Chain A
Amino acid sequence: MIVGQQKDFEEIKKMISSYNRILVLGCQTCVAVSFAGGMREVEILASMIRMDRKMAGQDIEIIEDATLRQCDFEFIDSVENLVDDCDVVLSLACGVGVQALAERYPDKVILPGLNTSFMGLTEKMGVWSERCAGCGNCILDKTGGLCPIARCSKGLLNGPCGGSMDGKCEISSDVDCVWQLIIDRLRALNQLEKLEEIFPIKDWDVSGHGGTRKIIREDLTA
């Protein structure tokens, strides 16, 4: 899932300072699950903005809503009336959602309320961590199901660097050395020999370094 984090309130305030009729639009999918942009967060943020304006003695009108998925045109079409009715849309979706809105409503200013952080999972309530970097060429079969691209600070492919200490990464003792985890897991699975295969230089073209990525499935595009 895409994990997002709400922007600093001061930053949001600045973005919307010249608008008096705002649609705060959440997304009920990934960012709702990561407690950044669901209906609950929409209501909290809207209340904060209202309080802030009230304290400053300024008027504001806020419409609150959330789409099921902001990255699908079909779903954002359903809020057309609300979008038409406001000066600006403050989107609490990920960057994909924000851009989908901007594409669908070319005349409207669309502002991002979130920073789209990473693709990851909920470790436990309130803790999310990155698991996939979307490199376009999955190697998890060779690394015991743990990704060194997303989880090694250096993105190394052939074992740990010299900075791996007591199972931790040299950048911080809070960060696990994923290579330690890979070795531990492969040992437990009795597959340590997998590490004997040397990774060649990785082709980063499919990771976006070769320009914006796009997939076209002929069989589905009628």
Chain B
Amino acid sequence: MFSKVGSVLVIGGGIAGIQACLDLADSGYFVYLIEKSAFIGGKTAQLDKTYPVNDCPFCIRSDMHMECISHTNIEILTLSEVKDIKGSSGDFEATIIQHPRYVDIDKCTNCGLCAEKCPEEVNSEFNEDLGKRKAVYIDYPEALPSSFVIDRKNCLHFTEEGCNVCKEACIEKAIDFDQKEQNISLNVGSIIFAAGFDSIIPPYYDYDKLPNVITSMEFERINSLNGPYDSHLVRPSDKKEPSNIAWLQCIGSRDIYHNYCSSVCCMYAIKQATLARQSNKMLNATIFFMDMRVCGKDHERYYNRAKDEDNIRFVRSKVHNVFPVPGTDDLLIRYADEHGNIYEEIYNMVVLSLGLEPSHDAVKLARDLGISLDKNNFVETSSFTPVNTSIPGIYVCGAFNAPKDISESIAEASAAACASSLNTVSKAALHEPLEDTGQKPVPAGLTIGGGVTGMVSSLCLADQGYKAYLVEKTDKLGGHALKLRKTFKGEDVKSYVKELIDKVENHPLIDVCLNSEVKHTNGYAGNFSTRIAISTSAETREINHGATIISTGADFLRTNEYLYGKNPRVLNWFHTDKILSEEPNTIEKANTWVFILCVGSREPERPYCSKICCSNALRNALELKKLNPDMEIYVLYRDMRTYGLIEDLYTEARDKGIIFIRYKLDSKPEVEQEQDGELMVRVQDNLLGEDLIIQPDFVTLQTAIIPRNNENLAKLFNVPVDQDGFLKEAHKKFKPVEFTAKGIYLAGLVHYPKPIDETISQAQAAAAKAVTLLSKECISINTEAASIDLKLCVACLTCARICPASALIINGMGKPYIEPQKCFGCGICAVECPVKAISLEHFKNEPILAESKAILVDASLMSDRVC
């Protein structure tokens, strides 16, 4: 047995790598972050805004970057590559090559004099070659590490020998041409691949010949505040504002070279079109797509808004050609609509929504290391261990695992942090210095909901040495997964769940409370006290814990459409699963089977996608076809949302002769029962424009996943519920498993419908977050907390009434008191206090008023000058 080594190597300094580093470092592990380029941040740093919130991610992102750079437990190696890794789980030896920066990071003050003087101008990679930079450069002024870098390939000192302009210009003497390449050897316990993706421009559409055919990333840069055209939305050829733009979807995805969906392009195209129309209200924005795959939380609503309110035009067609319009810089698009009619339209600019390919360098390294990759070169993982590679001790997260968006990458990064820490022993013990409250967090986590999510979270906590209480309402663990047969990859869910239950029930640190419900909870991050009522007895139990994870899951819709509940052969998804595992005769005898998708999902009263129905239906349809190849199977769908690697199922289903018929919300299929009791399905076929009549033996309805009654739960834990009834996380993009209130986390279907692999990675992520809190030496003092001047307070109770965190209580003296651990510094009490007795440490009235008065004075001086 090797002795474990107390650090982790994270490869890739993008958003996923940074998140993994932060979680590990916050839990007390030492982390090396290897980044190929000169700056951390990765592709996310190039993005303008993020869907579905459209807020500028810069603030949150730069906070994360700053935290990563300044964390005592993180060492960042930029301009570095992993050359080789030897050893095994718990004891890896990694050889790193660090290329010279030629600028001393410690001396450089980011003043920019060097770049100002540098005579050599080249294309800026950060701006996707649309703008220029010098040979000594920084990607953008706030980029971290905050130091310029010299690009040896273009620097005249190296290419023509002798140029020392920047060196002479630098006041701090930070330029050092003598820096040499370094070989660094690192001994680590585990490794996380967070290598991200590359985008490859396909050879068609004449991208290289037509300047106004641009990639989606180029569009991000053009529309960015710090972009190459000063955030003016203009086209590259003549810098004129386009009056119409076309987005072409599935470029480098869902084609003969890439049999997968890149998952993110539909949403980012909608985002880009929406933002483009914000900067130019007269702009005509058209998105050409095959299926609109907007499956994530709030994505459908974002799509509906774009379509119905922002007047973005959506055309269901795969565009096969883009032609130049002679004599202009415009582009002609020829496309066929669903009925086969050919149209031609002229656009000023065309954006190619590029897909995601696994990072090419990482693929090479992974191959060298013997990590199993799938046929598309994404890392092969099981749905049950979504961040484990084929080599023990090496983990993966983000887009190198499968195409995915930022929020899923962040959840996976936390999950990878959780998984990798189990291979790494001793903590580095370089904890952040904290003000000592003298109070250690209670080393226990409480997880509510004993489905797969809750069990995985509890196991992660217990495996890291914390007591895990698992509260389950029913008399057994397992939840919905007990009724599931297979994942979309075909793995057997039943045996996985059985094994998981065994592990949980036999773990010495896990205390399973069945037939139990939470009745009351109070306290603050690090020290909660929760009362559990046990339904089988009159007893209650008081549990003391440092962190809480909510994983109470969701329910499925009992619809009253399509004769559900009226005809026994109209089935729900789990009836179908049951027939598949128990009734081979029924399947053998059935001639025709119909699946109806989007039952109750994507309706006006439930405007979200349930995410798992398409893959579940296709998996079951394929199994039926396998058991009875003569069976005719029809899938009635609205958009086929086999996102990511699930696309494989769709391709296979079409190959196997399963028939797909698209229906629209305003002409839904009809299911009728004929006089002889036979079922009849009537559906309008878009291609023929006529009604099709199918007489199936069975109809399977893929009914919506609906939230449980989360209002009570939300009230109990003082966490918010979103407009669909799921729990609302702290930030849709960057904090998917956290709440604004500290010490409480969420995972699984209580957050939003999702398949089992995403559920498991969220469960691990929530546990990782809980560990960053539980591992603290002491509960930190909240310096953001508001404070009350009791001399001014008139005890009007306003603050206690409005505090969203319930941090304000009225003490025995009739005066309010703020519990600092609960207060998250939102400032609402300070704003509302009628006698102005409350203030926030960093937002005192006096300096802010002084500042605004100064601004007003400036403004009035300026206006005087103008007048």
Contacts of B835 in A (CB 8 A): 28, 32, 38-40, 66
Report the separation of the CA atoms of residues A115 and B824 in the bound assembly, to the nearest whole angstrom.
Answer: 37
Q: Which of B794, B797, B832 has the most CB of A within 10 A?
A: B794
Report the separation of the CA atoms of residues A38 and B794 in the bound assembly, to the nearest whole angstrom.
Answer: 10
Q: A125's contact among B792, B802, B836, by CB below 8 Å, is which?
A: B802
Q: Is A29 an interface residue (CB 8 A)?
A: yes
Q: Is A176 an interface residue (CB 8 A)?
A: no
Instruction: Please provide the chain B residues from 769 to 820 with a CB less than 8 Å away from any CB of chain A in the complex.
Output: 792, 794, 796-798, 801-802
Instruction: Please provide the chain B residues from 710 to 757 with a CB less than 8 Å away from any CB of chain A in the complex.
Output: none
Minimal beta-carbon separation of A33 from chain B (angstroms): 4
Q: Is B833 an interface residue (CB 8 A)?
A: yes
A43 to B834, Cβ gap below 8 A? no
Encode A21-37 as 1/0 by CB contact (under 8 A) with B.
Answer: 00000001100110100
Report the separation of the CA atoms of residues A40 and B794 in the bound assembly, to the nearest whole angstrom.
Answer: 13
Q: A33's contact among B792, B796, B802, by CB below 8 Å, is which?
A: B796
Contacts of B796 in A (CB 8 A): 32-33
A39 to B801, Cβ gap below 8 A? no
Q: Quick one: closest B residue to A36, CB to CB? A: B834
**With A28-B792, A28-B794 in contact, is A40–B834 under 8 Å at CB?**
yes
Report the separation of the CA atoms of residues A43 and B849 in the bound assembly, to the nearest whole angstrom.
Answer: 12
Q: B798's contact among A33, A39, A41, A66, by CB below 8 Å, is which?
A: A33
Interface size of B by CB at 8 A reads: 12
Q: Is A202 an interface residue (CB 8 A)?
A: no
Report the separation of the CA atoms of residues A66 and B835 in the bound assembly, to the nearest whole angstrom.
Answer: 9
B798 to A125, Cβ gap below 8 A? yes
B836 to A40, Cβ gap below 8 A? yes
Report the separation of the CA atoms of residues A43 and B796 in the bound assembly, to the nearest whole angstrom.
Answer: 18
Report the separation of the CA atoms of residues A28 and B796 in the bound assembly, to the nearest whole angstrom.
Answer: 10
**With A32-B794, A33-B796 in contact, is A41–B801 under 8 Å at CB?**
no
**With A125-B801, A125-B802 in contact, is A35–B794 under 8 Å at CB?**
no
Minimal beta-carbon separation of A93 from chain B (angstroms): 13
Q: Quick one: closest B residue to A38, CB to CB? A: B834
Q: Quick one: closest A residue to B836, CB to CB? A: A39
Report the separation of the CA atoms of residues A60 and B798 in the bound assembly, to the nearest whole angstrom.
Answer: 32
Report the separation of the CA atoms of residues A124 and B833 in the bound assembly, to the nearest whole angstrom.
Answer: 15
Encode B830-845 as 1/0 by CB contact (under 8 A) with A.
Answer: 0011111000000000
Encode A174-194 as 1/0 by CB contact (under 8 A) with B.
Answer: 000000000000000000000
Helix, strand, loop or mixed for chain B's interface? loop
A29 to B834, Cβ gap below 8 A? no
Q: Quick one: closest A residue to B831, CB to CB? A: A40
Q: A29's contact among B794, B802, B833, by CB below 8 Å, is which?
A: B794
User: What is the total of A-B residue contacts with beta carbons within 8 Å?
Assistant: 37
Report the separation of the CA atoms of residues A60 and B523 in the bound assembly, to the nearest whole angstrom.
Answer: 51
Report the separation of the CA atoms of residues A139 and B814 in the bound assembly, to the nearest whole angstrom.
Answer: 29
Contacts of A38 in B (CB 8 A): 794, 834-836
Contacts of A122 in B (CB 8 A): 797, 801
Contacts of B801 in A (CB 8 A): 122, 124-125
Contacts of B802 in A (CB 8 A): 125
Contacts of B798 in A (CB 8 A): 33, 35, 125
Report the separation of the CA atoms of residues A94 and B634 in the bound assembly, to the nearest whole angstrom.
Answer: 75
Report the separation of the CA atoms of residues A28 and B833 in the bound assembly, to the nearest whole angstrom.
Answer: 11
Encode A97-138 as 1/0 by CB contact (under 8 A) with B.
Answer: 000000000000000000000000010110000000000000
Instruction: Please provide the chain B residues from 821 to 867 with a CB less than 8 Å away from any CB of chain A in the complex.
Output: 832-836
Instruction: Please provide the chain A residues from 33 to 66 with a CB less than 8 Å away from any CB of chain B in the complex.
Output: 33, 35, 38-41, 43, 66
Minimal beta-carbon separation of A22 from chain B (angstroms): 19
Encode A62-93 as 1/0 by CB contact (under 8 A) with B.
Answer: 00001000000000000000000000000000
Minimal beta-carbon separation of B855 from chain A (angstroms): 14
Report the separation of the CA atoms of residues A40 and B831 in the bound assembly, to the nearest whole angstrom.
Answer: 9
Minimal beta-carbon separation of B319 from chain A (angstroms): 54
Q: Quick one: closest B residue to A41, CB to CB? A: B834
Instruction: Please provide the chain B residues from 99 to 117 with a CB less than 8 Å away from any CB of chain A in the complex.
Output: none
Q: Quick one: closest B residue to A69, CB to CB? A: B794
Minimal beta-carbon separation of B800 from chain A (angstroms): 10
Contacts of A40 in B (CB 8 A): 832-836
Report the separation of the CA atoms of residues A64 and B802 in the bound assembly, to the nearest whole angstrom.
Answer: 26
Report the separation of the CA atoms of residues A39 and B845 in the bound assembly, to the nearest whole angstrom.
Answer: 13
A33 to B834, Cβ gap below 8 A? yes
Minimal beta-carbon separation of A155 from chain B (angstroms): 30
Report the separation of the CA atoms of residues A125 and B833 in the bound assembly, to the nearest whole angstrom.
Answer: 12
Report the separation of the CA atoms of residues A33 and B832 in the bound assembly, to the nearest whole angstrom.
Answer: 11
Report the separation of the CA atoms of residues A35 and B802 in the bound assembly, to the nearest whole angstrom.
Answer: 14
Contacts of A41 in B (CB 8 A): 834
Minimal beta-carbon separation of B525 from chain A (angstroms): 26
Q: Quick one: closest B residue to A42, CB to CB? A: B836
Minimal beta-carbon separation of B747 from chain A (angstroms): 33
Report the separation of the CA atoms of residues A32 and B797 in the bound assembly, to the nearest whole angstrom.
Answer: 11
Report the separation of the CA atoms of residues A35 and B568 in the bound assembly, to the nearest whole angstrom.
Answer: 62
Contacts of B836 in A (CB 8 A): 38-40, 43
Report the separation of the CA atoms of residues A33 and B798 in the bound assembly, to the nearest whole angstrom.
Answer: 8
Report the separation of the CA atoms of residues A15 and B435 in the bound assembly, to the nearest whole angstrom.
Answer: 55
Report the separation of the CA atoms of residues A124 and B797 in the bound assembly, to the nearest whole angstrom.
Answer: 10
Report the separation of the CA atoms of residues A122 and B796 in the bound assembly, to the nearest whole angstrom.
Answer: 10
Q: Quick one: closest A residue to B801, CB to CB? A: A125
Minimal beta-carbon separation of A31 from chain B (angstroms): 9
Report the separation of the CA atoms of residues A40 and B801 in the bound assembly, to the nearest whole angstrom.
Answer: 17
Contacts of A124 in B (CB 8 A): 801
Report the separation of the CA atoms of residues A33 and B833 in the bound assembly, to the nearest whole angstrom.
Answer: 9
Minimal beta-carbon separation of A69 from chain B (angstroms): 10
Minimal beta-carbon separation of B827 from chain A (angstroms): 14
Contacts of B833 in A (CB 8 A): 40
Report the separation of the CA atoms of residues A29 and B835 in the bound assembly, to the nearest whole angstrom.
Answer: 9
Encode B653-667 as 1/0 by CB contact (under 8 A) with A.
Answer: 000000000000000
Report the separation of the CA atoms of residues A39 and B835 in the bound assembly, to the nearest whole angstrom.
Answer: 5
Report the separation of the CA atoms of residues A29 and B795 in the bound assembly, to the nearest whole angstrom.
Answer: 9
Report the separation of the CA atoms of residues A35 and B831 in the bound assembly, to the nearest whole angstrom.
Answer: 12
Report the separation of the CA atoms of residues A36 and B718 in the bound assembly, to the nearest whole angstrom.
Answer: 30
Contacts of A39 in B (CB 8 A): 792, 834-836
Contacts of B792 in A (CB 8 A): 28, 39
Report the separation of the CA atoms of residues A66 and B833 in the bound assembly, to the nearest whole angstrom.
Answer: 14
Q: Quick one: closest A residue to B834, CB to CB? A: A38
Report the separation of the CA atoms of residues A43 and B794 in the bound assembly, to the nearest whole angstrom.
Answer: 17
Contacts of B797 in A (CB 8 A): 33, 122
Encode B329-352 as 1/0 by CB contact (under 8 A) with A.
Answer: 000000000000000000000000
Report the separation of the CA atoms of residues A41 and B835 in the bound assembly, to the nearest whole angstrom.
Answer: 8
Report the separation of the CA atoms of residues A41 and B792 in the bound assembly, to the nearest whole angstrom.
Answer: 15
Report the separation of the CA atoms of residues A40 and B834 in the bound assembly, to the nearest whole angstrom.
Answer: 5
Minimal beta-carbon separation of B708 from chain A (angstroms): 28
Q: Quick one: closest A residue to B793, CB to CB? A: A28
Minimal beta-carbon separation of B852 from chain A (angstroms): 11
Q: Which of B796, B797, B833, B835 has the most CB of A within 10 A?
A: B835
Instruction: Please provide the chain B residues from 162 to 213 with a CB less than 8 Å away from any CB of chain A in the complex.
Output: none
Instruction: Please provide the chain B residues from 66 to 125 with a CB less than 8 Å away from any CB of chain A in the complex.
Output: none
Minimal beta-carbon separation of B867 from chain A (angstroms): 12
Report the separation of the CA atoms of residues A116 and B578 in the bound assembly, to the nearest whole angstrom.
Answer: 71
Contacts of B834 in A (CB 8 A): 32-33, 35, 38-41
Minimal beta-carbon separation of B795 from chain A (angstroms): 9
Q: Quick one: closest B residue to A35, CB to CB? A: B834
Report the separation of the CA atoms of residues A41 and B796 in the bound assembly, to the nearest whole angstrom.
Answer: 14
Minimal beta-carbon separation of A39 from chain B (angstroms): 5
Minimal beta-carbon separation of B419 from chain A (angstroms): 46
Q: Quick one: closest B residue to A1, CB to CB? A: B796
Minimal beta-carbon separation of A199 from chain B (angstroms): 35
Report the separation of the CA atoms of residues A81 and B797 in the bound assembly, to the nearest whole angstrom.
Answer: 32
9 new A-B contacts, CB < 8 A, other than A32-B794, A33-B796, are A28-B792, A33-B794, A35-B798, A39-B792, A39-B835, A41-B834, A125-B798, A125-B801, A125-B802
Can you name 6 A-B residue pairings with CB atoms under 8 Å?
A32-B796, A33-B796, A40-B832, A41-B834, A43-B836, A125-B801
Please list the residues of chain B having a beta carbon within 8 angstroms of any beta carbon in chain A: 792, 794, 796-798, 801-802, 832-836
The 6 closest A-B pairs by CB, nearest first: A38-B834, A33-B796, A32-B834, A39-B836, A38-B835, A28-B835
